[in-house]
């Protein structure tokens, strides 16, 4: 076997224990993975590129939907076959029986956010080198995302109880990080060259509720652990700040002026999930469609450049044809820039399964999903046409010299559209460029560096 891991190429490092790491799931899980990898590197472990030849494999699993669980089990299976020494962590680790049933010989199973237990399991499986390479870790930690953007996790868990969601069962109630901790991490990331901070959590707008908004001293002034105050403070770093997973509480309105002033990006990732009041009520989500449309109108009045990203679920138990038509009518009115749609999955343990509401047949779900996507595609294509002929700022994500792919302020990495661009001079990933938009399709923009 040829070991291609970096450790194999340097004499001394060849003796470092090697860990192969698989990160599955959402950006929140990616942040957990970054933390674990940072711990490992700080103790002198090397990260191997392949299972084969590693001393142990860690799989950070996702257990949100049944399809994600299946993917996690498959990844565990591959690691067991190729290596045989496997530690499982992450959301699926909260349900160890399911994993043990298929893979009784995994070395250890730990739940989400259990860094200490993961590290203890690693120490038991493969003890660290006597002299840890503490200085191998750059001050900003080890990031699995490209160097120019980073996810900033501000809290864990959620106090809401949406009936389709098992995250509170897996991760518990909201626990916010102290505000100074968050700002210190943001500062370290910016100093290390990060140009865009993506603020994530399960419920970003609830930040600090559990801390009773306890303030901390930051640069000679007090900052409260509160969504608005944190947004203001992050806005002072002079990089792009993007807000994800914002629950539609009334106080969200307060951050829109910061977006209008260009202090944080005019981008709001706010999952509405549905528009029909009866479905929203069964989901245990805010159920005032009229008010939601009115709020969106007001937000756009204050910040005309605002891009709203949202996600929706079709085929929730009890969703009627009329409910679905109401959802489409809402989409027509709301004209949201970026939209994702899921077909309802009866996730094990979700309260929605016990509401006594009739399940929507799979073929109906499928039809509704296709109609929803086609409906929104037409809206998205029309909205993107507005950008044609304009000059916009783009952050370059990938570059092949004079052809590159980047994003505007209205697009988050991995989930939204892209700006495909050409330039007369070579450009690098992480650069900001001004691009003249020549054309648009349903999801992406195309242009030339001005
Ligand atoms: S707000 Fe989000 S994480 Fe919290 S219960 Fe609802 S869907 Fe789940």
Residue 341 is assigned to a ligand binding site: no
Residues 340 and 294 in one domain: yes
Which atom of ligand 1 lies closest to the CA of 247? 1
Q: Find the CATH number of the domain harbouring 50.
A: 3.40.50.12160
Residues 61 and 160 in one domain: no
The predicted structure's pLDDT at residue 328: 98
The answer to whether residue 354 sits within a structural domain is yes
Residue with CA closest to ligand 1 atom 6 = 162
The answer to whether residue 99 sits within a structural domain is yes
The answer to whether residue 6 sits within a structural domain is no
Residue 379 Cα to ligand 1 midpoint, Å, equals 27
Residue 303 is assigned to a ligand binding site: no
The answer to whether residue 2 sits within a structural domain is no
Report yes or no: 38 and 144 within 8 Å, Cβ to Cβ.
Answer: no
Which atom of ligand 1 lies closest to the CA of 164? 7
Residues 110 and 259 in one domain: no
Q: Find the CATH number of the domain harbouring 442.
A: 2.40.50.140
Boundary (domain end) residue, out of 385, 413, 428: 385
User: Cα separation of 170 and 447, whole Å?
Assistant: 44
Residues 279 and 420 in one domain: no
Residue 91 is assigned to a ligand binding site: yes
Residues 126 and 171 in one domain: no
Residue 245 Cα to ligand 1 midpoint, Å, equals 9
Boundary (domain end) residue, out of 385, 402, 430: 385
Residue 200 Cα to ligand 1 midpoint, Å, equals 13
Q: Which residue has the tokens 């067991």?
A: 80
Residues with beta carbon inside 6 Å of ligand 1?
158, 160-162, 165, 167-168, 202-203, 247
Q: Find the CATH number of the domain harbouring 343.
A: 3.80.30.20
Which atom of ligand 1 lies closest to the CA of 285? 6
pLDDT for residue 2 is more than 90: no
pLDDT for residue 224 is more than 80: yes
Q: Looking at residue 129, what DSSP letter applies?
A: P
User: Cα separation of 2 and 438, whole Å?
Assistant: 47
User: Cα separation of 15 and 159, whole Å?
Assistant: 46
CA separation (Å) from 374 to 332, 364, 380? 12, 15, 10
Residues 288 and 155 in one domain: yes
The answer to whether residue 5 sits within a structural domain is no
Which atom of ligand 1 lies closest to the CA of 168? 5
Residue 320 Cα to ligand 1 midpoint, Å, equals 23
The predicted structure's pLDDT at residue 45: 83
pLDDT for residue 133 is more than 50: no
pLDDT for residue 10 is more than 50: no
Domain that holds residue 96: 14-133
Residues 166 and 120 in one domain: no
Give the predicted TM-score (pTM) of the model: 0.78
pLDDT in tens, 231-264: 999 999 999 999 999 988 888 999 999 999 999 9
The DSSP result for 192-224, as a single string, is TT--EEEEE-SSGGGTTGGGTT-EEEETTEEEE
Q: Which residue has the higher pLDDT, 262 or 131?
A: 262
User: Cα separation of 248 and 294, whole Å?
Assistant: 13
Residues 380 and 251 in one domain: yes
The predicted structure's pLDDT at residue 289: 67
Residue 159 Cα to ligand 1 midpoint, Å, equals 8
The DSSP result for 298-351, as a single string, is HHHHH-TT-EEEEEEEES-TT--HHHHHHHHHHHHHH--SEEEEEE----TT-G
Residues 185 and 48 in one domain: no
Residues 297 and 408 in one domain: no
Q: Looking at residue 250, what DSSP letter applies?
A: G
The answer to whether residue 7 sits within a structural domain is no
For the chain, the domain total comes to 3
Residues 153 and 275 in one domain: yes
Residue with CA closest to ligand 1 atom 3 = 202
Residue 284 Cα to ligand 1 midpoint, Å, equals 10
Mean pLDDT taken over the chain = 88
The answer to whether residue 142 sits within a structural domain is no
The answer to whether residue 140 sits within a structural domain is no
Boundary (domain end) residue, out of 329, 355, 385: 385
Helices 321-334 and 362-385 meet at what angle, rounded to 10? 10
Taking each continuous run of H as one helix and of E as one strand, the counts in the chain are 12, 20
- Strands 155-156 and 432-440, sheet pairing: unpaired
Exposed/middle/buried for 244, CB within 10 Å: 0-12, 13-18, 19+?
Answer: buried
Residues 315 and 331 in one domain: yes
Which atom of ligand 1 lies closest to the CA of 203? 1
């Amino acid at each position: 076997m040829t070991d291609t891991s970096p450790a194999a190429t340097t004499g001394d490092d060849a003796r470092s224990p090697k860990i192969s790491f698989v990160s599955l799931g959402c950006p929140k899980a990616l942040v957990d993975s970054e933390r674990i990898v940072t711990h490992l590197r700080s103790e002198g472990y090397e990260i191997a590129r392949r299972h084969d030849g590693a001393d142990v494999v860690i799989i950070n699993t996702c257990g949100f939907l049944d399809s994600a669980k299946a993917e996690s089990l498959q990844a565990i299976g591959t690691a067991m076959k190729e290596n045989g020494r496997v530690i499982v962590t992450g959301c699926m680790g909260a349900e160890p029986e399911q994993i043990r049933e298929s893979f009784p010989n995994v070395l250890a199973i730990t739940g989400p956010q259990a860094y200490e237990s993961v590290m203890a399991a690693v120490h038991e499986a493969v003890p660290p080198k006597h002299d840890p390479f503490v200085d191998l870790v750059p001050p900003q930690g080890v990031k699995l995302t490209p160097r120019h953007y980073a996810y900033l996790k501000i809290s864990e868990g959620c106090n809401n109880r949406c009936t389709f969601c098992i995250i509170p069962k897996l991760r518990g109630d909201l626990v916010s990080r102290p505000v100074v901790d968050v700002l210190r991490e943001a500062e370290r990331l910016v100093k290390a060259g990060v140009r865009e901070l993506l603020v994530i959590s399960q419920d970003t707008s609830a930040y600090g509720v559990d801390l009773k908004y306890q303030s901390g001293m930051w640069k000679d002034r007090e900052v409260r652990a509160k969504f608005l105050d944190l947004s203001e403070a992050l806005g002072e770093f002079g990089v792009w700040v993007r807000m994800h997973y914002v629950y539609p509480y009334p106080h969200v309105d307060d951050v829109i002026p910061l977006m209008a002033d260009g202090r944080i990006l005019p981008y709001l990732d706010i999952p509405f999930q549905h528009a029909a009041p009866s479905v929203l009520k069964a989901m245990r989500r805010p159920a005032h469609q009229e008010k939601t449309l009115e709020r969106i109108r007001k937000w756009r009045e204050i910040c005309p450049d605002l891009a709203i990203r949202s996600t929706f679920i079709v085929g929730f138990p009890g969703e009627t044809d009329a409910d679905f038509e109401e959802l489409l009518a809402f989409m027509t009115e709301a004209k949201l820039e970026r939209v994702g749609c899921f077909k309802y999955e009866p996730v094990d343990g979700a309260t929605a399964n016990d509401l006594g509401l009739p399940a929507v047949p799979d073929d109906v779900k499928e039809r509704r999903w296709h109609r929803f996507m086609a409906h929104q595609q037409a809206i998205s294509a029309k909205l993107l046409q507005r950008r044609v002929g304009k000059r916009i700022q783009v952050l370059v994500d990938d570059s092949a010299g004079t052809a590159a792919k980047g994003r505007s302020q209205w697009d988050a990495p991995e989930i939204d559209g892209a700006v495909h661009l050409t330039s007369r001079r070579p450009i690098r990933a992480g650069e900001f460029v001004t691009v003249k938009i020549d054309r648009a399709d349903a999801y992406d923009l195309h242009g030339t560096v001005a």
